[in-house]
Structure 1
Amino acid sequence: MVRQTLSADVYAQLRDLLISGRVMPGEKLSLRSIADALGVSVMPVREAVHRLVAEQALEMSANRFIRVPVLTVSQFREITSIRLNLEGQAAARAAELVGAKALREIEGIHDASCREFAKSTPDESRLIALNKELHFAIYNQAQMPILLQIVESLWLRIGPILNYDLRSGTERVVQRVQASHHAAMVEALKNRDPVAACQSLQNDITSAADFILNTGALIVADSVKPVETD
């Protein structure tokens, strides 16, 4: 029971690491380094990693190194398309159901993000964590637990690349592009406007996705059609 509890705890921590985008695509880890960082033995780490490998959230090489997968262009496009529909639905539903207390919490997360963006050198890790926190604080208000589970599984695979712009310190960060989309999302929730909530959420997803597709950070081999031969 103790081992199972430890394994579940390690799994939850690694899962949150991936969903929050605090590791980058292609980043290599080892069972020992993870165990040392979490202060546990290798066994529960191995069990947690195997679960994540089965979920295609991690890859394990023959030399026992664990790698964060690098998505292909087609995989990224497919996941983005699904996200637009599911997360847009969650945002719209949240606008209809969000309560005053939850709305204050969501505004607080957004305000914290804006304060971080306003710094001369924003903390990238802080921005990444707040981005995930804001999105899921909104989705939780939809009161659709099955949809939420599906969204979490998508973020498990896309999280590492999702915050590429925040980590790369691009002009998008300087111009606070993400913050403006988040402000529109919060405003839509305050106005109880499901259409605006859905649209602002989808604008946020599309803006980040377009940037990522243009960076060359994805594997493009599968996006090139093979030359037909006789």
Structure 2
Amino acid sequence: MLDFEKAQRTSLTTQVEVNLKSALIIGALKPGARLITKEIAEQLGTSITPVREALLRLVSSGALQATPAQAFLVPVVSQERYREINTIRKQLEGMAAVTALTHLTAEKHSELQRLAEDFQSKVRHGEVEQMLEANYVFRFRLYRYAEMPTLIALIEQLWVQIGPCFNFLHPHSGDIFPDTHFYANLLTALEKKDEIATRKAMEIIIDHDTLILQRQYVY
């Protein structure tokens, strides 16, 4: 017999996990923040069980840390760990972008252009949280064109781990990204289906991310 109650709870757990992942990725949760299961359940209007299960999933993926006091912590990422993760990101995200070329159509490229323009609009208006969300949407739309779900899951796991580092950017919106077409070189490389230029563009983009987030280690 199907366990509908368990299936419903699993679905709710997944929804909570997605919400928490999004909050981590755009820096809405500060490194070192303490997450209380009951408080999150109240904020989301759900019971404690799916929230706790979602938090434990994030602990198992390295996105959160569990504490003896039945709370969960957003980890503080060291400079060395951030560099390590970005080195891995270059390999994985470069692979995803290059593989996406195989499936990239004119229609898909136009969609990427639209998403890049939406991101740039958020940059011009200095809307940091919306900017980071638009950046995530653009990047993962491209990566999903690679049609490699396992690779995408690995990339997302890395983004979730370093996402809280973006929290320090929220009050410093003026110069996070240049007010130009940040993804212009990448889009050109994609349109030409140039694997070398695509990979190089991705490396430059990730290096830019690194330079931005290095600031938090000197503030």
TM value normalised by structure 1: 0.83
- Given the alignment of the two structures, is residue 159 of structure 1 paired with residue 163 of structure 2, yes or no? yes
Equivalent runs, 1:139-154 vs 2, <5 Å:
139-154=143-158
| Amino-acid identity (%) | 29
Query: Is this contact kept in 1: 2:103–2:146, CA < 8 A?
Result: yes
- Within 5 Å, give how 1:28-177 maps onto structure 2: 28-119=34-125, 122-161=126-165, 163-164=166-167, 166-169=169-172, 172-173=175-176, 175-176=178-179
Measured after TM superposition, the shift of residue 189 of structure 1 is: 1.5
1:150–1:217 Cα change, 3 Å = farther
Secondary structure of the residue that 2:75 maps to in structure 1?
coil
Cα 1:180–1:217 shift into 2, 3 Å: farther
- Select the residue among 17, 21, 25 that pairs with 1:19: 25
Alignment correspondent of 1:222: none
Unaligned runs of 5+ in 1: 219-230
> Residue 16 of structure 2 aligns with which residue?
10
The RMSD of aligned alpha carbons is: 2.2
2-structure distance, mates of 1:114, 1:184 = 14
Kept in 1, the 8 Å contact 2:128–2:173? The answer is no
Distance 1:165 1:181 in 2: 21
8 Å Cα contact 2:176/2:212 also seen in 1: no
Question: What secondary structure, in the 3-state scheme, does the structure 1 residue paired with 2:35 have?
Answer: strand
Provide Cα deviations, 1:33-66, integer angstroms capped at 9, x if missing partner: 2112211011111111111112221123333332
CA distance 1:73–1:46, change in 2 (3 Å): same
Q: Does the 8 A contact of 1:165 with 1:211 survive in 2?
A: no
CA–CA separation in structure 2 for the residues paired with 1:180 and 1:52? 34
Query: Post-superposition, which runs of at least 4 consecutive aligned residues in structure 1 deviate over 4 A?
Result: none
Question: Bigger shift: 12-21 or 98-107?
Answer: 12-21
Q: What's the CA shift string for 1:49-93, capped at 9, x where partnerless?
A: 111112221123333332211112221111111101111111122
Query: Which residue number in structure 2 is paired with residue 228 of structure 1?
Result: none
Shift of the 217–51 alpha-carbon distance from structure 1 to 2, 3 Å rule, reads farther
Aligned mates of 2:156, 2:133 — CA distance in 1: 15
Alignment match, 2:201: 200
Whole-Å separation in 1 of the counterparts to 2:188 and 2:153: 26
- Return 5+ residue gaps in structure 2 as ranges: 1-5
Residues 31 and 158 from structure 1, CA distance in 2 versus in 1: closer, same or farther, beyond 3 angstroms? same
Q: How many residues align?
A: 213
Are residues 159 and 149 of structure 1, via their aligned partners in 2, closer, same or farther at CA, if it must alter by over 3 Å?
same
148 and 113 in structure 1: CA distance in 2 versus 1, 3 angstrom threshold:
same
Identify if the C-alpha distance between structure 1 residues 174 and 144 changes in structure 2 by more than 3 Å, giving closer, same or farther.
closer
Query: CA shift at 1:19, angstroms?
Result: 3.1
- Inter-partner Cα distance in structure 2 for 1:48 and 1:71: 21
Contact 1:29 1:65 in 2 (8 A): yes
Partner of 1:226: none
Q: Given the superposition, is the C-alpha separation of residues 172 and 196 from structure 1 closer, same or farther in structure 2, using an over 3 Å criterion?
A: farther
Structure 1 residue 216, shift from structure 2 partner = 0.8
In the TM superposition, what is the alpha-carbon distance from 1:11 to its structure 2 partner? Answer: 1.8
Aligned-partner residue type, residue 103 of structure 1: H
Give the Cα separation in 1 of the matches to 2:84 and 2:129: 27
What is the aligned partner in structure 2 of residue 211 from structure 1? Answer: 212
Partner-residue secondary structure (3-state), 2:27: coil
